[in-house]
Structure 1
Amino acid sequence: MTDVLHGSGSHGVAHCGSVSALTLGLPAATAVPEARARLPKAMFVGHAQISAKLKQRLTNDIESITMLALLRPSNTGLAAGARVPEVLVIGLRLSAKAVLVPTEVIELIAAQRKSGIVFAVVRDKPVDGGVREECTLAVRRALPGKAGHLPVHEVFADVWQPAHEVMLDIDTVRRAKSDDSAGASIDDLWSSLCAQIILGVPDGTDLDARIVRRAQISELEMTIDKLTRDHQRAKDADQRNEIYAKLHKAKQQLDTLRAQ
């Protein structure tokens, strides 16, 4: 992958379908030249032991893999990161029959690099007798865990949108560099991009804690929904009272989390 990342050229910028670094709102300096952007699937198979099922998905579900952008201190104006050396933007073009975010393929590719990687997944969706090109952004991120334990990663994906509407915001982080004497770094950029995809906002502050809180809120909402239905069905007074107490406690916990 080194030749692709360090290559330069005067030809057009790389595209995955109609999606490019420029359509995503990234600076032209970060765009990878089209002539050097295509990544062969075999590149990712040779460095990892993968199952026959995953190899089949890589072959059948992914039409092409394209390097769209490379964000570094030299082309973003940000300081070097202590954890993340650079952020790559890789386009995954789905084949005609594939419709879902290729989570296992994203896991395979992202696990092979220390860089942060934003995946722009592009598909064609039949709509009203025609076809609409759609895109979603995805990242693989380590979940908050206990010290000394092996990290557990999860692939997060945004909603599908018309391809021309999908954007990434790096200006928020770059403005923070001028407002903060310490300056923002590539680490901050990665946190911001993850926050955009996972939480829908560019603020990457305390991201792990916010991801945990969002998961807890989602779990409590499902618990409240179940307890509400159980309470409606319960006929025994003692059982109804017991369920109501659990429901009241869960609602209090939810209110507390939402207020944080």
Structure 2
Amino acid sequence: MTIASCGSVSATTLGLPNSTAIPAEKATLPKGLFVAKIPVSAKTKQRLANDIETITMLSLLQARNTGLAAGTRIPEILVIGLRLRGTNAAVPTDIVELIAMQRKSGMLFACVRDADFEGTTRQECAFAVRRSLPARAGHTTTSKIFVSDWKPAGEATLEAADPAVDSVDALWESFCSQVILDDPSPVDLDARLARRMQIARLTTQIDKLTRDHQRAKDAEQRNEIYAKLHRMRKQLEELQVQ
């Protein structure tokens, strides 16, 4: 069987089990499939037509072909290759959103581009997932597209054998953790993600307050800003050692 590929990226190069690879003859997904049943903006339609060369299903991971327990939230995981047109293209987050929102399955996107490198070009791969953000009880849940760093296509891999991965649900958490945090552990991902988001917010606030403190002329105002800075820096230190 010839397995599907997106550029030089395939289930095999990604390190996924051969049992999950999609046959090449069944792998190509027509672009029109994703704009047929839902309203789509003209801009997104144009990007789908012009910026995406091909959409290819590379791997389908289920309980039956992975040896994992069936998921209760995620029935299966699709790994979809997006071959991008042009050189040094960015991950098309609007296209990832368009495709991922239409199916309950977990979807991991392997985006493949040609990129300038040391006077020549090479193929690079970045991963993307759509995931709900951690939310407090009673608050509306929102989703976000998370994107990994670009890597040479031959070095872009997914870890599917973490000891804590015992179900399709846990495998999806592991894949999301790899994309978002560069860590294969599926354990407490929402808590780890919430901590990272809090660290990012505090870092931004500290940078702003530091500039405000430098500009402040009034001594009372400077002292007030300094006190806020001290509290936030302490919070940041506590989060970073957890």
TM-score (norm 2): 0.95
Partner Cα separation in structure 2 for residue 98 and residue 43 of structure 1: 27
The structure 2 residue matched to 1:225, chosen from 201, 207, 213, is 207
Q: Helix, strand or coil: the match of 1:96?
A: strand
Q: Which moved more, 1:206-215 or 1:57-66?
A: 206-215
Summarize the Cα distance change of 1:146–1:242 in structure 2 as closer, same or farther, 3 Å threshold.
closer
Partner Cα separation in structure 2 for residue 202 and residue 98 of structure 1: 27
Q: Which amino acid aligns with 1:240?
A: R
Partner Cα separation in structure 2 for residue 217 and residue 51 of structure 1: 34
Q: Alpha-carbon deviations, 1:22-70, whole Å to 9, x = none?
A: 0001111111111111110011111211011110011011110000001
Shift of 1:252: 1.2
Summarize the Cα distance change of 1:130–1:219 in structure 2 as closer, same or farther, 3 Å threshold.
same
Paired residue for 1:235? Answer: 217
Superposition pairs for residues 1-260 of structure 1, below 5 Å? 10=1, 12-96=2-86, 99-147=89-137, 150-172=140-162, 175-176=163-164, 184-260=166-242
Quick check: 1:66–1:90 contact (8 Å CA) kept in 2?
A: yes
CA RMSD of aligned residues (A): 1.5
Quick check: 2:87–2:113 contact (8 Å CA) kept in 1?
A: no
Identity of aligned residues (%): 58
Q: Which moved more, 1:249-258 or 1:35-44?
A: 249-258
Quick check: 1:66–1:92 contact (8 Å CA) kept in 2?
A: yes
Following TM superposition, where does structure 1 have runs of at least 4 consecutive aligned residues deviating by more than 6 angstroms?
A: none
Partner Cα separation in structure 2 for residue 126 and residue 257 of structure 1: 38
Shift of 1:148: 5.8
Partner Cα separation in structure 2 for residue 70 and residue 27 of structure 1: 10
Shift of 1:151: 3.0
Structure 2 unmatched ranges of 5 or more: none
Q: Alpha-carbon deviations, 1:56-92, whole Å to 9, x = none?
A: 0110111100000010111111000000000010000
Structure 1 unmatched ranges of 5 or more: 1-9, 178-183
Quick check: 1:61–1:98 contact (8 Å CA) kept in 2?
A: no
Q: Helix, strand or coil: the match of 1:60?
A: helix
Quick check: 2:69–2:168 contact (8 Å CA) kept in 1?
A: yes
Partner Cα separation in structure 2 for residue 154 and residue 161 of structure 1: 22
Partner Cα separation in structure 1 for residue 184 and residue 118 of structure 2: 34
Partner Cα separation in structure 1 for residue 140 and residue 4 of structure 2: 36
Summarize the Cα distance change of 1:255–1:78 in structure 2 as closer, same or farther, 3 Å threshold.
same
How many residues were matched structurally? 242
Shift of 1:132: 1.4
Q: Alpha-carbon deviations, 1:100-129, whole Å to 9, x = none?
A: 111110011001111001100011012233
Partner Cα separation in structure 1 for residue 137 and residue 88 of structure 2: 38
Q: Helix, strand or coil: the match of 1:68?
A: strand
